[in-house]
Amino acid sequence: MRANNILYDRHKAVLPNWAPVYYEEPISLVRAQGRRVWDQNDVEYLDMFGGILTTMTSYNDPHIVAAIQDQAAKMIHTSTLYLIESQIELAERIAEMSGIPNAKVFFVNSGSEANDAALMLATAYRRSNQVLAMRHSYHGRSFATVPVTGHSSWSPSSLSPFNVNYIHGSYRYRSPFGDLSDRDYVKACVDDLDNILQVATSGDVACLIAEPILGVGGFSHGPDGLFKDIKNRLDQEGILLISDEVQTGWGRTGDHFWGYQAHNIVPDIITFAKGVGNGLPLGGVIASADIMDCFKSLSISTFGGNPLVARGAMANLDVLIRDDLQGNAKARGGELKTGLQRLSEKYDYIGEVRGKGLALACEIVEDRKTKKPDQARTAKLLENAKSHGLLIGKGGFYGNVIRMAPPMSITKEEISEALDKLEKVFATV
Ligand SMILES: Cc1ncc(COP(=O)(O)O)c(C=O)c1O
């Protein structure tokens, strides 16, 4: 028996069944460099998923490693009871980057916690527990984020601290409005929002939480400008917009630094996590001071933005900006998308190629006419990609979307290599 199978047995014995691992024979990744990872049997893979979009710049960047090592040797943790200069500096930088005027930042450890904090702020500020969310969304695993996740496979509980209503907009491929022009689609979604506000709420809704591009939902999104029209309607009621940038932030979409910028708006609250720490556990909420300071009681996050993660995140952002990785995401993402579109001309089972920058997906169907989700073929694609030394991700409401979101430093040669491999992978299913 190979070492990975023994490890899998041990895994199954002590870790929960509901936290899935990829592949019939799961792999254990033990070392990495740049965009490449190696498993326990020293098999090499080109990583096109970056640990779910979390290795944002690259593995083992010397500048980031040096910052972490330096801080670890000095002091890992102090708690937020004391001033932390690196945390303050990181907050200053993120507040400045956010586009929110007079912004403040609260640091936590994950995307779920960031969205929890944002929902608590919005509901406290608006003194309402009514919340809107997008169909097909994913906002986390916690008790307050599952209720705003419009994706039943990720909803282990129906309990909720909120009264939640879901609106249309982010998933167009099977939307009842999907065949409309961009303009008519946006209008239909805003009419749907308007209708929900009238028939399903008492009017004083706290917020809408939305991903500019669905992450787990399969890199689907509405037309640019959708959230402008939605926000115009929300503003009429004083409803806050929370932009969940856990997957779309930091330039990954290529055209913009934040996903919300494609809509020519500034949200009231932004949440972030994943890529900012490049693997260090860091998330956060950004809001204007009047919203951020609205709590009447105290609240802390013990680990949130501790000296180790703050130093690591700053070094990560240094690399992101120094190497113009947003520009690279646009250029390399363009090449990857063109390659995927070429493949989709060949294979009728690729229902749609979509996404932006280095967040790209193919929805896998039996054929383009019926659009019937093909989960079996999707699983096979994932397995075959692994056999060809390529790690890709999966997602979508029906589990039939393959996703690619490599570290944003991926090179032109590596994109060609990925496409060469994908060519073979798609040919075998
Ligand atoms: C858009 C979005 N929000 C929130 C989360 C939750 O983040 P975490 O798993 O760090 O709690 C995720 C995780 O995939 C996500 O994709």
DSSP string, 309-362: HHHHHHHHHHHHHHTTHHHHHHHHHHHHHHHHHHHHHH-TTEEEEEEETTEEEE
CATH code, domain with 368: 3.90.1150.10
Q: What length is written for the chain?
A: 429
**Cα 265 versus chain centre, distance:** 19
What separation in Å is there between the alpha carbon of 405 and the centre of ligand 1?
14
Please tell me whether the overall predicted TM-score, pTM, comes out greater than 0.85 for this model. yes
Distance 378 CA to ligand 1 centre (A): 22
Determine whether the shortest distance from the Cβ of 137 to ligand 1 is under 6 A.
no
| Among 203, 211, 17, 12, CA closest to 118 | 211
Q: How many CA atoms lie within 13 A of 24 on its CB side?
A: 9
As a whole number, mean pLDDT of residues 370-388 equals 98
* Most informative mutation of 49, 112, 155 for ligand 1 (most atoms within 8 A of CB): 112
Residues 88 and 209 in one domain: yes
Among the candidates 296, 322, 348, a domain finishes at 322
Tell me what pLDDT residue 5 has.
83
Q: Does one domain contain both 155 and 77?
A: yes
Read off the amino acid at residue 333: G
pLDDT, tens digit, for every residue of 364-377? Answer: 999 999 999 999 99
Same domain for 138 and 98: yes
Contact 396 CB / ligand 1 (< 6 Å): no
Residue 139 Cβ inside 6 Å of ligand 1? The answer reads yes
Helices (H) and strands (E) counted in the chain, each on its own, are: 12, 15
CATH number for the domain including 183?
Answer: 3.40.640.10
Average pLDDT over residues 17-42: 97
Name the band, by pLDDT with cuts 50, 70 and 90, for residue 1. very low
Strand partners, 362: 353, 402
**What mean pLDDT is reported for the chain?**
97
Ligand 1 atom 3, closest CA: 139
Distance of CA 314 to the CA centre of its chain: 20
Distance 113 CA to ligand 1 centre (A): 9
Q: What is the pLDDT of residues 142-157, one digit of tens each?
A: 999 999 999 999 999 9
Domain that holds residue 234: 64-322
Please count the structural domains in the chain: 2
Say if residue 302 is in the same domain as residue 421: no
CA of 183 to the centre of ligand 1 (A): 30
Q: Is the separation of the CB atoms in 308 and 71 below 8 Å?
A: yes
Q: List for the chain the helix, strand, coil content (%; round to 5).
A: 40, 20, 40
Q: Same domain, yes or no, for 26 and 106?
A: no
Helical H runs in 128-217?
A: 182-200
Amino acid residing at 141: R
309 shares its domain with 334? no
Distance (angstroms) between ligand 1 centre and the Cα of 172 equals 21
> β-strand 359-364 against 401-404: which pairing, if any?
antiparallel
Same domain, 32 and 156: no
Please indicate whether residue 111, judged by its CB atom, sits closer than 6 Å to ligand 1.
Answer: yes
How is 222-291 classified by DSSP, letter by letter?
--TTHHHHHHHHHHHHT-EEEEE-TTTTTTTTSS-SSGGGGGT---SEEEE-GGGGBTB--EEEEEEHHH
Closest ligand 1 atom, CA of 214? 1
The reply to whether 313 and 376 lie within a common domain is no
What is the 313 CA–ligand 1 centroid distance (Å)? 18
Q: Determine the distance separating the centroid of ligand 1 and the alpha carbon of 271, expressed in angstroms.
A: 10
Residue nearest to atom 7 of ligand 1 (CA): 111
Tell me how far the alpha carbon of residue 86 lies from the centroid of ligand 1, in angstroms.
Answer: 24
Ligand 1 geometric centre to CA of 184 (Å): 31
Q: Are residues 396 and 384 in the same domain?
A: yes
Q: Which residues of 298-318 are buried (b: 16+ CB within 10 A; e: fewer)?
A: eeebebbbbbbbbbbbbbbbb
Tell me the C-alpha to C-alpha distance, in Å, between residue 228 and each of 117, 171, 191, 263, 273. Answer: 24, 17, 14, 5, 24
Instruction: Answer whether 243 contacts ligand 1 (Cβ < 6 A).
Output: no
pLDDT, tens digit, for every residue of 226-251? 999 999 999 999 999 999 999 999 99
Q: Which atom from ligand 1 is nearest to the alpha carbon of 140?
A: 6
Q: How far apart are the first and last CA of the chain?
A: 27
Do 305 and 361 have their domain in common?
no
Given the CA of residue 141, which atom of ligand 1 is nearest to it?
11
- Amino acid identity for residue 116 in this structure: D
Residue that terminates a domain, selected from 322, 347, 370: 322
Q: What is the pLDDT of residues 106-150, one digit of tens each?
A: 999 999 999 999 999 999 999 999 999 999 999 999 999 999 999
215 lines ligand 1 (CB under 6 A): yes
Contact 168, 192 (CB under 8 A): yes
Alpha-helix residue ranges (DSSP H) falling in 353-407: 375-387
- Between CA 308 and CA 147, with CA 105 as vertex, the angle to 5 degrees is 100
Closest CA to 269 of 230, 299, 239, 298: 239
| Structure confidence at residue 2 (pLDDT) | 58
| Contact 116 CB / ligand 1 (< 6 Å) | no
Do 278 and 256 have their domain in common?
Answer: yes
Whether 216 is in the pocket of ligand 1, judged by its Cβ within 6 Å, is yes
Both tokens assigned to 40: 């326990």
User: For residue 49, what are its two tokens?
Assistant: 């998923």
420 with 314, same domain: the answer is no
Ligand 1 contacts CB of residue 186 (under 6 A)? no
If pLDDT is split at 50, 70 and 90, which confidence band does 203 have?
Answer: confident
Mean pLDDT of 350-359: 98
C-alpha separations of 59 from 37, 54, 257, 275, 304 in Å: 9, 10, 21, 12, 23
User: How far away, in angstroms, is 409 Cα from ligand 1 center?
Assistant: 22
**Pairing, β 390-391 against β 359-364:** unpaired
- Residue ending a domain, among 322, 350, 385, is 322
Determine the atom of ligand 1 nearest the C-alpha atom of 109. Answer: 10
